[in-house]
Structure 1
Amino acid sequence: MKSWSQLLLLFIMIISCSGNSGSQNLTWYHNATISDITEDPDKPNEVVRVAIGISAQVFYLSKKSPDYKTLMEKATQSFKKSKAYNIGIENKTNIIREIKEIK
């Protein structure tokens, strides 16, 4: 039964991914929870690795982004407290650009 639940959750994650968000060219993961946050071993001064969902899709938070501190706070809250957010990923770069509260 546990494997069916994981497959269902994976299916929901795939389905919840929607198209672009206007001029920002983002792919959205709705009701997503961050499952891991780690320093990137290849670029420790530039990005932080962020895994989303049980399928552990890896994206990045840019330390050079003006919103880095706010994004990292929300990512940490999602990781530690399993809080779900809508997460916007920039197409072709896999960089997290937005983390929004669920309405």
Structure 2
Amino acid sequence: MGRILGLDLGTNSIGWAVYDKTTNNITDYGVTVSQKKNKTGRINKIKKIKKYLTPFIALITFTIISLIVTFFDKTNWQFWLNISLTGFITCITSQQNKKR
């Protein structure tokens, strides 16, 4: 007596059947359906992270650009250095305040 197990693997279901070779009949069959996970929690978490990081990334970008300008503008280098150091200190203190 020989049996064959047939599987149908879908994106959110698994179908199966057992075929008996001696009687040429399907002896048993079934399907298991899995529920799709709720993605709203994940999407909300991503939005929260973006909302948290966007101002910080903008401030770091501004700080780096003003530091680069310090090297190219020989007449006002002290001004640009002061701006970049102020931006750096603001980045540090803003992150410490958010951790509390």
When you count strand as a share of all residues, which structure comes out higher? 1
Q: Determine which structure has greater relative contact order: mean sequence separation of CA pairs < 8 Å that are 6+ residues apart, divided by chain length.
A: 1
TM-score w.r.t. length of structure 1:
0.28
When you count helix as a share of all residues, which structure comes out higher? 2
